[in-house]
């Protein structure tokens, strides 16, 4: 039996500024922060999925040539991560224009709720405190 056929691929992008900080989005309704990422759609290539998720969750769009492939990583029993990195230097000094256009039904009201409701830059030390432990460990294992 091929167990890998049932594993989802979550494609994400590490957006890194000139100070070496990582862009994180606040996960609505939780105390945690995360990178822009999401499941690859059937028939969608990995880079296209990462680019789509970045656009949907932050409003950011970059030329495909700017995405550096970091590779595929173990994440959960039912999901792996395929990550890319985009260095933005000083391009994103202000994050006020970022907006999440990816929604889920609120667990109480059923109203469409954005997946992310805020954005910030985080140092490596902050990632360890802000992200879920499994995501923090994965991010901190990478050079960015």
Query: According to the model, what pLDDT value does residue 7 have?
Result: 84
Query: According to the model, what pLDDT value does residue 103 have?
Result: 87
pLDDT at 4 over 90: no
Q: What is the pTM of this model?
A: 0.91
Query: Looking at residues 68-84, what average pLDDT do you find?
Result: 95
Q: Is 91 helix (H, G, I), strand (E, B) or coil?
A: coil
pLDDT: is 6 or 9 the higher one?
Answer: 9
Q: Residue 12 is inside which H or E element, if any?
A: strand 8-17
Question: Which fold does the domain 3-140 belong to in CATH?
Answer: Nucleoside Triphosphate Pyrophosphohydrolase (3.90.79)
Domain residue limits, the chain: 3-140
pLDDT: is 90 or 106 the higher one?
Answer: 90
- Choice among 36-40, 62-66, 104-108 with the minimum mean pLDDT: 104-108
In this structure, are residues 76 and 44 in contact, taking their beta carbons and an 8 Å threshold? no
**Bridge partners for 103 per DSSP:** 114
Radius of gyration of the chain (CA): 15
**Cα–Cα dist 20/7, whole Å:** 31
At 5, the pLDDT band (50, 70, 90 cuts) reads low
Per-residue pLDDT reduced to its tens digit, 93-144: 899 999 999 988 877 777 888 999 999 999 999 999 999 999 999 999 999 9
At 36, the pLDDT band (50, 70, 90 cuts) reads very high
Query: Looking at residues 64-86, what average pLDDT do you find?
Result: 96
Alpha helices in the chain (DSSP H): 46-58, 124-130, 133-140
Q: For the chain, what's the residue count?
A: 144
Query: According to the model, what pLDDT value does residue 104 have?
Result: 81
């Amino acid at each position: 039996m091929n167990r890998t056929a049932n594993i989802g691929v979550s494609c994400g992008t590490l957006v890194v500024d000139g100070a070496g900080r990582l862009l994180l989005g606040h996960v609505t309704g939780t105390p945690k922060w995360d990178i822009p990422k999401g499941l690859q759609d059937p028939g969608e290539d990995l880079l296209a999925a990462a680019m789509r998720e970045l656009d949907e969750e932050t409003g950011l769009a970059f030329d495909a040539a700017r995405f550096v492939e970091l590779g595929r990583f173990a994440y959960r029993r039912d999901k792996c991560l395929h990550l890319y990195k985009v260095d933005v230097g000083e391009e994103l000094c202000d994050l006020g224009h970022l907006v999440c256009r990816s929604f889920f039904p609120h667990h109480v009201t059923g109203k469409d709720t954005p997946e992310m409701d805020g954005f910030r830059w985080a140092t490596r030390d902050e990632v360890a405190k802000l992200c879920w432990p499994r995501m923090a460990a994965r991010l901190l294992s990478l050079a960015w």
